Amino acid sequence: MTEDPTVTYQGPERVLSGVQPSGDLHLGNYLGALKKFVDLQHRYETFIFVADLHAITVWQDPKLLAAQTREIAAAYLASGLDPQKAAIFPQSAVTAHAELAWIFNCVARLGWLDRMTQFKDKAGKHKERASVGLYTYPVLQAADILVYKATHVPVGEDQKQHLELTRDIAGKFNHDFDAPGFFPLTEPLIQGPGARIMSLRDGQAKMSKSDPSEQSRINLLDDADAIAQKIRRAKTDPEPLPEAVEGLAGRPEADNLVGIYGALANRTKAEVLADFGGKGFGVFKPALADVAVEVLVPIGQRMRQLLTDPAELDRILESGADRARAVADPVIAETKRIVGFWGA
Ligand code: TYM
């Protein structure tokens, strides 16, 4: 059951998103998420966190986790997030996320979670050995979003199902507790050529941190030689590039490389093909490598520089957490009152 759709959320518009500190960030994370955060911070009140609670749904070395968290913060800043505009913080520093997640565990239905494809992919064949946290992971994600009453969430396409679940949870909470419009029905911001970047080795597989092949992805910390070499070796087909976008159908690797060029150069695939249609990959790949190096190498350099001063990164994370708590704490307090908890 969902809420009455005629009663809509009236609060301010807010953007929220996060990235897990569990492995090197790659081009898919940058184009699907970080680049969008940077654009949105100028238009909305923006909350961008490091999803360390989500990271521990699979084993993380306690000796490395805090450093991995700083590394994501450095990637945010190096990509252009401004800590004066966006609140940048570790998820675990704002306890309201976990509190709301528990309440939502009691709102979400088992059947809803059973349909989540990412759990099936991540748990693999041995589902009974996966952590319970991995299973309820999308419920925590809904809490991350709704504890700020975020109205817009920029993510890559792989998060679409989790965003749909977030809307279902918001609607059911509002309905069950007779609190129409309390939580917004959040809009995912997924569109654009960067929403689904595929592996450089297989145009049918998503570019992913967990792919065993380093050649499948470009990492944000790769240097110019590594970037150019990975693009040179990227899988392609023998045909020249088509003149029009329709000609990319059935050519997943060509489609992916044209999409990456477009996303990096802020151009549509049609515009890229207007320049490169009829040309072979011998011409296109070096041009793509040039654009990728131009965009990514300065980000990697800035990240390295930021990581030399962990105390400054910690100051940014602490002040971001203060700003996040100032919004999240009243929302969790009000939620507890709505649920009827003692003393709330
Ligand atoms: P994570 O850490 O797996 O990925 C971070 C962001 O990168 C996007 N992404 C991609 N986009 C395009 N092409 C790809 N190949 C690609 N691979 C990854 C993801 O879609 C994501 O936007 N569950 C989230 C983290 C999270 C979150 C949230 C996000 C936790 N709570 C609340 C938004 C709102 C995750 O694991 O992302």
Residue 5 has pLDDT above 90, yes or no: no
122 is catalytic: yes
pLDDT of residue 125: 85
* Average pLDDT score over the chain: 96
211-245 as b/e: b if 16+ CB within 10 A: beeeebbbbbbbeeebbbebbeebbbeeebbbeee
Co-location of 88 and 121 in the same domain: yes
**Residue 201 falls inside a structural domain:** no
Residue with CA nearest ligand 1 atom 4: 19
d(CA 93, CA 160): 26
Co-location of 97 and 178 in the same domain: yes
Q: What is the DSSP letter of 186?
A: P
**Residue 157 falls inside a structural domain:** yes
Residue 320: what residue type?
G
Asked if 246 contacts 277 with a C-beta cutoff of 8 angstroms, the reply is no
Asked if 197 contacts 32 with a C-beta cutoff of 8 angstroms, the reply is yes
Residue with CA nearest ligand 1 atom 34: 17
Instruction: Name all residues whose Cβ lies below 6 A of ligand 1.
Output: 16-20, 28-29, 31-33, 51, 54, 141, 144-145, 153, 155-156, 158-159, 194-197, 206-207
**Residue 96 falls inside a structural domain:** yes
d(CA 49, CA 93): 10
**Residue 4 falls inside a structural domain:** no
Ligand 1 atom closest to the CA of 138, numbered from 1: 23
**HEC-encoded secondary structure of 283-322:** HHHHHHHHHHHHHHHHHHHHHHHHHCCHHHHHHHHHHHHH
d(CA 306, CA 311): 10
Asked if 156 contacts 21 with a C-beta cutoff of 8 angstroms, the reply is no
**Tens of pLDDT along 124-165?**
888 899 999 999 999 999 999 999 999 999 999 999 999 999
Closest of 114, 60, 112, 127 to residue 90, by C-alpha = 60
Instruction: Please tell me which residue in 35, 36, 172, 206 is annotated as part of the active site.
Output: 206
Instruction: Please tell me which residue in 122, 160, 269, 336 is annotated as part of the active site.
Output: 122
Q: What's the 315 CA to ligand 1 centre distance in angstroms?
A: 25
Co-location of 127 and 257 in the same domain: no
Residue 283: give the domain boundaries. Answer: 214-305
Residue 105 has pLDDT above 80, yes or no: yes
pLDDT of residue 330: 98
**Residue 8 falls inside a structural domain:** no
pLDDT of residue 2: 53
Mutate to test the pocket of ligand 1, among 14, 15, 16, 19 (most ligand atoms within 8 A of CB): 19
Instruction: Please tell me which residue in 160, 209, 235, 269 is annotated as part of the active site.
Output: 209
Q: What percent of the chain has pLDDT over 70?
A: 98
Co-location of 125 and 238 in the same domain: no
Co-location of 144 and 252 in the same domain: no
Contacts of 305 (CB under 8 A, 6+ apart): none
CATH number where 99 lies: 3.40.50.620
The tokens describing 17, both together, are 């998103």
Would you tell me how many other CB atoms lie within 10 Å of the CB of residue 246? 9
Q: What's the 209 CA to ligand 1 centre distance in angstroms?
A: 11
Residue 7 has pLDDT above 90, yes or no: no
Co-location of 152 and 114 in the same domain: yes
Indicate the burial class of 319 (C-beta count within 10 angstroms; 0-12, 13-18, 19 or more): middle
Co-location of 82 and 162 in the same domain: yes
The tokens describing 200, both together, are 């450089």
Ligand 1 atom closest to the CA of 158, numbered from 1: 20
Question: Of 5-19, 188-202, 206-220, 309-323, which gets the smallest average pLDDT?
Answer: 5-19
Q: How are the residues of the chain apportioned to helix, strand and coil, as percentages rounded to the nearest 5?
A: 55, 10, 35
Starting from the edge strand earliest in sequence, which strands make up the sheet with 152-154, in order?
Answer: 87-90, 45-50, 14-19, 152-154, 187-189
pLDDT band at 340 (very low <50, low <70, confident <90, very high): very high
CATH number where 259 lies: 1.10.240.10
Residue carrying structure tokens 């680049």? 35
Ligand 1 atom closest to the CA of 206, numbered from 1: 15
pLDDT of residue 298: 98
Co-location of 222 and 274 in the same domain: yes
Quote the number of domains for the chain: 2
Co-location of 301 and 314 in the same domain: no
**Residue 257 falls inside a structural domain:** yes
Co-location of 124 and 258 in the same domain: no
Co-location of 63 and 177 in the same domain: yes
**Residue 9 falls inside a structural domain:** no
Would you tell me how many other CB atoms lie within 10 Å of the CB of residue 265? 18
Co-location of 144 and 244 in the same domain: no
**Residue 22 falls inside a structural domain:** yes
Mutate to test the pocket of ligand 1, among 16, 97, 155 (most ligand atoms within 8 A of CB): 155
d(CA 320, CA 215): 35
**Tens of pLDDT along 231-275?**
999 999 999 999 999 999 999 999 999 999 999 999 999 999 999
Q: What percent of the chain has pLDDT over 90?
A: 93
